[in-house]
Structure 1
Amino acid sequence: MSLLHVGIAAAVPATDSRFLVGGHGGVAMSFDLEHDAPRLEPGSAEARAHLAEHGYAVLASVLNETELRTARELLWRFMEGTRKGIRRADPRTWHRIGPNQFGIVWNSGAGQSELMWHVRSAPRLLEFFSSFWGVGRAELLTSFEGFGVMPPTELESSWGALAEGWFHTDQNGASRPGLWTVQSFTSLHDQDETTGAFVVVPGSHLEHAAVTRRALRAAPGTPRTQQFLLVPPDDSILTARRPRLIRCRAGDAVVWDSRTVHCNTPPLTREVPWRPTVERQSGMARGSFGPDGSALPSPPLEPHPPNFPDFLRVVAYVSMAPRARATPAVLLARRRAVLNAQACTHWPFEATCVPPDDELPPPPDLGELQLDLAGLSAEDGALIAAARRAATA
Structure 2
Amino acid sequence: MFTAKNREELETKGVTMVPDVLSMEDCDKHQAFFRNWLKRFPDGQWPETLSSLIQGYGAGHLEPAWDVRLKTRSVFAQVWGTNKLLSSMDFIAIGRPPEDGEEKFWAEGDNWLHTGQSADRVSLHAYQGAVYLEGCDEDDWTFEVFEGSHTHFDEFMDTTDQWRCDKIAGDHLDWFKSRGCRRRRVPCPKGGMILWDSRLVHANARPKAGRANTGRWRYVVFVCMTPAVWATPGDLAVKRRAYEQRRLTAHWPSDGVKLANNCPLPDQSLDPVDLLDLPEVARTDDAKRLVGILPYDEADPDWLDETDENRCKFRPAWNKERWAKHLNK
TM-score class normalised by the smaller sequence: 0.7 to 0.9
Percentage of identical aligned residues: 25
Counterpart check, 1:129 vs 2:70: no
Find the counterpart in structure 2 of residue 181 from structure 1.
Answer: 126
Distance change (3 Å), C-alpha of 1:321 and 1:337: same
Counterpart check, 1:102 vs 2:43: no
Distance in 2 between residues matched to 1:267 and 1:229, nearest whole Å: 21
Counterpart check, 1:238 vs 2:184: no
Task: Provide TM-score, normalisation by structure 2.
Answer: 0.77
- Supply the AA of the counterpart residue of 1:84: F
Find the counterpart in structure 2 of residue 253 from structure 1.
Answer: 193
Shift of 1:112: 1.1
Shift of 1:314: 1.7
Distance in 1 between residues matched to 2:123 and 2:103, nearest whole Å: 41
Shift of 1:158: 6.1
Checking the alignment, whether the CA contact within 8 Å between 1:112 and 1:341 is kept in structure 2 is yes
Distance in 2 between residues matched to 1:196 and 1:108, nearest whole Å: 22
Find the counterpart in structure 1 of residue 152 from structure 2.
Answer: 207
Name which structure has the greater RCO, CA cutoff 8 Å, separation 6+: 2
Shift of 1:171: 0.9
Find the counterpart in structure 2 of residue 362 from structure 1.
Answer: 276
Distance in 2 between residues matched to 1:179 and 1:59, nearest whole Å: 20
Distance change (3 Å), C-alpha of 1:241 and 1:355: closer
How many residues are aligned here?
A: 278
Find the counterpart in structure 1 of residue 214 from structure 2.
Answer: 273
- Supply the AA of the counterpart residue of 1:129: F
Distance in 1 between residues matched to 2:65 and 2:38, nearest whole Å: 13
Secondary structure in 2 aligned to 1:232? coil
Secondary structure in 2 aligned to 1:96? coil
Distance in 1 between residues matched to 2:158 and 2:166, nearest whole Å: 10
Distance in 2 between residues matched to 1:246 and 1:85, nearest whole Å: 35
Find the counterpart in structure 1 of residue 115 from structure 2.
Answer: 169
Shift of 1:202: 1.1
Shift of 1:160: 12
Checking the alignment, whether the CA contact within 8 Å between 1:345 and 1:353 is kept in structure 2 is yes
Find the counterpart in structure 1 of residue 293 from structure 2.
Answer: 376
Shift of 1:355: 4.5
Could you list the per-position Cα deviations for residues 335-358 of structure 1 after superposition, in whole angstroms to 9, with x for gaps in the alignment? 221121111100012332135575
Gaps of 5+ in 2: 265-269, 296-329
Gaps of 5+ in 1: 1-40, 87-92, 276-310, 379-393
- Supply the AA of the counterpart residue of 1:362: L
Distance in 1 between residues matched to 2:9 and 2:192, nearest whole Å: 16
Q: Matches of residues 15-164 of structure 1 in structure 2 within 5 Å?
A: 41-42=1-2, 44-80=3-39, 83-85=40-42, 93=44, 96-99=46-49, 101-122=50-71, 125-136=72-83, 139-157=84-102, 164=110
- Supply the AA of the counterpart residue of 2:168: V
Checking the alignment, whether the CA contact within 8 Å between 1:339 and 1:363 is kept in structure 2 is no
Task: Provide TM-score, normalisation by structure 1.
Answer: 0.65
Secondary structure in 2 aligned to 1:73? helix
Distance change (3 Å), C-alpha of 1:63 and 1:244: same
Distance in 2 between residues matched to 1:346 and 1:150, nearest whole Å: 20
Secondary structure in 2 aligned to 1:132? helix
1:339 to 244, 247, 251: 244
Secondary structure in 2 aligned to 1:115? helix
Distance in 1 between residues matched to 2:51 and 2:252, nearest whole Å: 18
Could you list the per-position Cα deviations for residues 358-382 of structure 1 after superposition, in whole angstroms to 9, with x for gaps in the alignment? 555223132121111111129xxxx
Shift of 1:208: 0.9
Distance change (3 Å), C-alpha of 1:160 and 1:74: same
Find the counterpart in structure 2 of residue 351 from structure 1.
Answer: 257
Checking the alignment, whether the CA contact within 8 Å between 2:106 and 2:205 is kept in structure 1 is no
Checking the alignment, whether the CA contact within 8 Å between 1:211 and 1:231 is kept in structure 2 is no
Distance change (3 Å), C-alpha of 1:57 and 1:206: same
